[in-house]
Amino acid sequence: MGKVHVFDHPLIQHKLTFIRDVNTGTKEFRELVDEVATLMAYEITRDLPLRKTEVETPVQMAESYVLAGKKLGIVPILRAGIGMMDGILKLIPAAKVGHIGLYRDPETLKPIEYYAKLPSDIGEREFIVVDPMLATGGSAIAAIDSLKTRGASHIRFMCLIAAPEGVKALAEAHPDVDIYIAALDEKLNEHGYIVPGLGDAGDRLFGTK
């Protein structure tokens, strides 16, 4: 079973409060999601492997470290995942970006894939799939299914807010995938929305509705 990590960093928790706030407008919402994505990227990369190297400082040669291991790929689930992408790329600019387009059918709550474009060297990369919301888990499971079908084998999933139902479903469907979240909320409501959540992440990011 993959591990579930809840990021309790005070800055993440503080900013998340304003992201949740119904009175936060589109511009500020987008900026806050971007900032939290950067902070979460900092936390999620904590365990990346390093190798020793040497660097010439203005004073003398020094032993130092650079990143080693697999190259990274970021996969935002369209649309709302796009809101977290730039914040992650600020810290990991060399990562390649794949896109998977999914929307949740409002009646059945089942995900429908409408787009996929992934890096060509998919088997050589470690992927972070990102989406602000993990509700029923259907979208995250489908996105990871899609990545695995195309050859990815090292995948993590990162979101802002998760429902217990989504965490359970994702952990059962993909036990090899670690899940990183900023907040684990109470439940889903009858429309499949996270309670208390933040509403519809895509609509709040892009000003639709």
Ligand X SMILES: O=P(O)(O)OC[C@H]1O[C@H](OP(=O)(O)OP(=O)(O)O)[C@H](O)[C@@H]1O
Chain residues that interact with ligand URA, rule: CB under 6 A: 80, 133, 135, 193-194, 197, 200-202
How near is the Cβ of 152 to ligand X at its closest, in Å?
18
Task: For residue 163, count other CB atoms closer than 10 A to its CB.
Answer: 24
By C-beta, is 77 or 147 nearer to ligand X? 77
45 belongs to the catalytic site: no
By C-beta, is 44 or 102 nearer to ligand X? 102
203 belongs to the catalytic site: yes
- Which residues contact residue 99 at a Cβ distance below 8 angstroms, ignoring those fewer than 6 apart? 75, 76, 78, 115, 116, 117, 118
| Binding region for ligand X (CB under 6 A) | 77, 79-80, 102-104, 109, 111, 131-140, 166, 192, 200-202
- Which residues contact residue 60 at a Cβ distance below 8 angstroms, ignoring those fewer than 6 apart? none
Residue least distant from Mg ion (Cβ): 202
| DSSP-derived 3-state class of residue 176 | coil
Q: CA angle at residue 130 from 209 to 5, to 5 degrees?
A: 120
Contact map string, positions 180 to 209, toward Mg ion, x by CB under 5 A? --------------------x-x-------
How near is the Cβ of 11 to ligand X at its closest, in Å?
23
Q: How far is CA 101 from the centre of its chain?
A: 14
Structure tokens at 17: 């409060």
The binding site for 5-phospho-alpha-D-ribose 1-diphosphate consists of 79, 104, 131-139, 200
